[in-house]
Amino acid sequence: MKAEKIVSTTLLAAALAILGGGAGIAMADEPCGDFGECKTLIEINASDGDIGFHFLMDGGDLIRAAIFAPNHRKIFYDGARGPLREQFLTETFAESAEPLCWEPEEGEDEEFGEDFVTLEDFIDRWRAGTYTFIGIGEHFEFSLGQTTLGFDLPAAPADLEYDEDTGIISWTAGNDLGECADYDELADLVEDEILPEHPFDVEVAAWEIVLEPDVEDGDPTGALKYTVRVPGGISVKAVTVPADYLASLPNDTPVKIEVGAIGVGDNATFSEVDGFCVNEDEGCEEDED
């Protein structure tokens, strides 16, 4: 236990030295410093109206790892023990809980819960700026990487459609964040310099399209998702789900579609619609909920 405390303290001291400009660690010419990859991002479900913080780090043979926010506070720490200590940490992905980004009206709290955060409060909580990733390897060598979290949030895709006859999923570019914030609310946040730019103006680097069987937990069909990413600049916002994939699903399989706008800075805003039916024979049963 004492050794672990020493390691944790060393991580903190090293990170503070780095952030203060006194680093004794050379930055490598790799995608994220000494890490193969590191990123922080914001993900919004515009249909459900929730928001979360995600991060990814990919390093080699680590026994300890930590992340520091722009205010120098440690927000994540992980350490390998037992057999994991012998085999090491490499890629680590995690996401925060995703509270509602809109406040339920009186009487709705029983259905939606009381866990919510306004978009403005969320931005204040996480802060834009440089997030520092620190890793310690098998022989206590340090890895360092830094990435930037911004609040350039792409607008939620709109007008999602699925043609059950052709297998075509289509959508349009939206102009707000759905349940999280409408166009005028976002304009006010830009005017108050809380958001750097309106989501309507944020460049979309890629669209992520998902067709997911909407089945009960435990049904193996639920694992048969179809997912694809296409460039953000495509003129016709539509993809065709492969016929072989659709044929692999049982008759009368309810499905939902999800389209995400992925920003240049990796922030993502998703919209989803359900109620579609694949390989309809007797008809899909509607969800009683």
Q: Supply the pLDDT for residue 40.
A: 95
> For 202, phi and psi rounded to 5 degrees?
-75, 130
| Residues whose CB is less than 8 angstroms from the CB of residue 189 and which lie 6 or more positions away in sequence, other chains included | 119, 120, 181, 195
pTM to 2 decimals? 0.85
Q: What is the pLDDT of residues 198-222, one digit of tens each?
A: 999 999 999 999 999 998 888 888 8
Q: Which domains does the chain have, with CATH numbers?
A: 2-149 (2.60.40), 158-278 (2.60.40.10)
- Tell me how far apart the alpha carbons of residues 225 and 103 are, in angstroms, rounded to a whole number: 32
- Tell me how far apart the alpha carbons of residues 264 and 246 are, in angstroms, rounded to a whole number: 31
Q: What is the 3-state secondary structure (H, E, C) of the chain?
A: CHHHHHHHHHHHHHHHHHHCCCCCCCCCCCCECCECEEEEEEEEECCCCEEEEEEEEEEEEEEEEEEECCCCCEEEEEECCHHHHHHCEEEEEEECCCCECCCCCCCCHHHHCCCECCHHHHHHHHCCEEEEEEEEECCCCEEEEEEEECCCCCCCCEEEEEECCCCEEEEECCCCCCCCCCHHHHHHHHHCCCCCCCHHHCCEEEEEEEEEECCCCCCHHHHCCEEEEEECCCCCCEEECCHHHHHHCCCCEEEEEEEEEEECCCCEEEEEEEEEEECCCCCCCCCCC
Q: Supply the pLDDT for residue 108.
A: 56
Q: What is the pLDDT of residues 148-205, one digit of tens each?
A: 999 999 999 999 999 999 999 999 999 999 999 999 999 999 999 999 999 999 999 9
Partnered with residue 133 across adjacent β-strands are 67, 145
The rounded average pLDDT for each run of 10 residues, N- to C-terminus, in the chain (289 residues) is 49 50 41 90 96 92 92 91 85 90 65 74 92 89 92 97 95 96 96 96 97 89 92 96 94 96 96 94 69
Residue 128 and residue 112 in contact, taking contact as beta carbons nearer than 8 Å: no
